[in-house]
Structure 1
Amino acid sequence: MTGKILDSRYEIIKKIGSGGMADVYMAKDILLDRIVAVKILHSNFAEDNDFIVRFRHEAQSAGKLTHPNIVGIYDVGCDGDIHYIVMEYVEGETLKQYIQSHPNIPIDTAVRIAISIGNALEEAHANGIIHCDIKPHNILLTTNGKVKVTDFGIARAINSSTVIDKQSILGSVHYLSPEQAAGDKITAKTDIYSLGIVLYEMLTHHLPFEGETAVSIALQHMQGDIPRPTKYNPAISPMLEECLLTALQRDPDKRYDSVSDFISELKIAQGFTTSIYNKPASHDFTALTRPLPTKQKPIVLEKDGKVATFIANLPQKYIWIAMVALFAICFAWAFFTFGNFWSAENISVPNVVGKPVEVAETSLKKLNLKVSVDEIASDDVPSGQVISQTPPAGTNVKAQRIIHLTVSKGGSTMLIPDLKGLTLEQAKERLDKMGLSLGAVENGNDPDKPSDVIISQSPDSGAKATKGTRINIVINMRQKVSVPNLTGMSLSDARNSLLSMKLSVGTITSSDGTAADAPNAVVVSQDPAGGEQTNFNVVNLTIGSKSKSQKKNGTVNITIPKEGNARQVEIYVTDDTGKHTVYNAKVNAGSTINKDVSGVGNVRVQVVIDGSVVQDREL
């Protein structure tokens, strides 16, 4: 497969993985000049027409998902009997590999990874897509510490055809929900159960159920009780354990109503309050990881992990004593710092909300009060204006009390997305989600890019912008080209002819069951037809078998005008065996020529008088 080019676009570079239903290859998208991952279905799935229909439908639906924790789907297609799906190429390792190489994953890290997976599922469920095959093998940890979920769509397609009688599902039986094992209706709660199993494995380094066969494991999911995770890891808090066991209820009605609820409970249960480090701005895996300088895979910071594990293993009473002591220290500091509590003077705090921060500071300092200012981004309040104050207006305080002001520093900034390669509708949808708007739309012409996609934008991707910024784009409106006549050509010759016109082969159908790789396969029709003008970059072909035995006969009747001199007459016959001269003579004026002609397969007769074609027809 290495070196093969699918649909004249995706050049296979090397094999990077294999699964129960597909092989994964690194490939180069020749058209967009980028590295992609191509998942090619095994032949046993490619022969199942019903599955292929479901596969294409689910892949197209999953292709609409756009989320930082979801591996993007770019394309789905077929080249002959090869059915494939083109995805974002992600460098890194699977979560399964990470679990195997890290027997003691810190609880914080495991919960953050689970939350990132849950965020991906939250986006999918909001778009009506259920993954159906959440397992560590389908979770990627990138080299820069991101968590990405893959195989949306393909897993749903295979689940719709079978539950536990396919190899790919048998490989997932440890993470199978009870309703999947029983063949019952699948809902979003199916993904919640599978995510719970993944978290269970990260926290305990064990799977809840083991068995000799896949069927025995599936039966345990339907009938057995999940062992409490604290059996394997006593450091798990009671709240986190109950949260996990709720997600792993056999009855879907007893699980969380949505993956959003599961995520919220995980955040509350773990709370990240036992960590001495600041809580990261996001729940990406990078929060507790860093890339090796020499190897391209993330590892957990061992120092951080040991400290977190030590604190998590402390008895609860010591943690409570430490918290009470910390509260007492903070209270004492606040008592003597936040104001002159021994003063008899009471001051009524004025209302400075909505005023410029300079005016507010002057007003408060005149009243013998101190001021503390915190700035936050705001899309609704102008820069430099007070948003809120603590204590509120009208409160009586002592002299020298600190008044905390929250001040706007203007609209929050964001990075402009890369819109090149998207259609106009896709660009509008992406900009709407980010709070940006579409500006001027101009037409451009780039013969090397597909028609009706964006080829440039202003401001460019990566530039900083505020909410409401208008993005100007240029749409590729390719000039119309004349489609060559491909009828009678082999598929190889047809592809070469289209490539010379910067066109490519679209769908290939057979009119009589002839295979695309059959030696006698030829093009019998095309859409658009030969000679038509088009600005699309693909031509759909219909193939059939080239007849080698059918012989066609006909007659050529030519009368030379009576006036003038003798004429040179030539008659040519072109058929499947080539071009032949059947008549070549000088004929006197007024003479009549009757010539029987014949040929094999597609036969064309051409009459030439004195170098000019006077007749060109098919038999």
Structure 2
Amino acid sequence: MPSAWQTARKLTPVDTTVADPLLGRLLDGRYRVESRIARGGMAAVYLALDVRLDRTVALKVMHPSLAEDPDFVRRFIGEAKSVASLSHPNVVHVFDQGADAGNVYLSMEYVPGRTMRDVLRERGRLPAREALEIMIPVLAALGAAHQTGMVHRDVKPENVLLSDDGRVKVADFGLARAIDAGNQTKTGVMIGTIAYMSPEQVTSGVADTRSDVYAAGVMLFELLTGQQPYLGESPMSVAYRHVHDRVPAPSTLVPGVPAALDALVLAATDRDPARRPTDATAMLVAAVETHRVMPHDSTPQRPLPGATSPSMPRGFGAPPANPTMVASRTEMLAAPEIAPPAPARRRGVRPVWFLAALAVVMVAAIAGTGWWFSEGRYTKVPELLGLNVALAKAQAEKQGFTVKIGPAEHDDKLAEDKVLRSDPEPGKEVLKDAVITLIPSSGPVKVPVPNVVNLSEGDARAKISEVGLTPGSVSRVPSDTVQRGLVMRTSPAVGTRLREGSKVQLVLSAGLLMPDVSEMQCDQADAFLRQKGFNPTVVQQTDQAQPNTIIAQVPAARAEVTAGQAVQLTCSKGPDTGFHWPWENPDNAQPGQALVPIPDVRFKKVTDAVSELRTAGFRVRVRKIAGTGAVVAENPLGQAPAGTRVTIWH
């Protein structure tokens, strides 16, 4: 039957179309049945709460038709007593057995996680080392059972659980029995799963420790290749191949499987039981030795597309369902071509000292398996993704890893200097002192806003698109320096680094306006306009205005002009009546009007210029003409009475 208490993390009832009378019931006054998680040919498995001990358990409840068979019930209860006495970390524990109103049940350990079948279905074949590291604890569990005189009889991926915390457990010893209890199975009945059934089980119904070894060898073959060695149209055709064919070496399907693993599979699946390892403990010793000498990076190559094996005419594909079969051997062997294999040659008796030494090695191997593959040499790569790189490095080094920082990679979601990924990936089983490479995120790809000032709108949009940004909205404002239709500035500003695809807004000139240079000293106005690309001409005119001061301009201030346009400036010569400004003729200055030097603040910051002039005792008027933040012109210069107004342009 399919194992069920090991289902995925989220449990769902197997069949919701038919009401189950056990759901919600308090079985035997102790177990509250919460959900049915699987149903097989012999029993159903439920998730239940042991209200006495307040723990979650798996209940295996026989089908009513079988519960009415006293012999079957006797075997079922005998199973509970045998397995309950088997204490091993790689065996699913049996807690209790009982009967309530015709419901015969076992209370068993609930192991959340996945089955080996789930792993095969999701990943296909596994790397050689990983496959062996799953099989070793399986062999340790079977070996412990074999040493107590117990045979599993139904070893298959559905009965191997991989718990959420990384443990490997063998489940469903539901058909196991003591080797010397042969009278508990009816003559002529085969019990097991045909895909993993040994030749002697098919031909004679006999199952011993070597039958479990055969099934374990088939399972290792499937882990290494991703498929079962034999498929057929019917159970009889598969049984025929177990009896008459030889399981091929895994490397014939997957090039690169180590020769030692080929040898282990071929030895375990030999058609002659006498040529197999005597029990799972003996196979465990061979498996541990194979693992010890295997290169750590042994990863078989992928088979060529379309490659098939002589034993696999259908090629690659998902394995079929593997229900536990309870069937008449007479019917199975109705085909005359399925016959027992020839009697095996009796092997020589090994000396007592050799057997004693081998037993010591076997016991040591079982005892050391847990250390070797869990708490000893290996550990899991910690979950470091999303952490600050420095913090992640410190955490990993604290756990004994050697940490390298790889080149950063861009990521649209993860911020800069966070761990984007690690090699090996989190959760991977590695040596405790292994090297972990952390790849930090450099954040999203960012590009600087290109310089599109003084470009037309079309050229600016093209240049922005070329660097991976998106041209955004357009606004227009008058300008004293930029001709109509050209870009004055961008938002964000030129040089700002933005994520790819971000929008850049354009500010275009609504027209080049004539600067207002009135009241500016003539030489300063001429120099300023030439710097801005105009072509000024200065004419002198007698006027009451301060000498050497602009009194008129053509084009007028704020008129729209073009770059390089000619400009006529009218400069005051002063009055022709002999009048002089007080600061121009100190001898004629009014009594008490002392002249004070005017600080020359040109090219200084506006704020500094204003402060300096006010400190010197002058009033200040500020006019914007260039928008540079620095003073470009000043009037008057020289000397003037304290309190005189000084104009500065910036």
TM-score under structure 1 normalisation?
A: 0.45
TM-score under structure 2 normalisation?
A: 0.43
Instruction: Pick the structure with greater CA Rg.
Output: 2
Q: Select the structure that is richer in strand.
A: 1
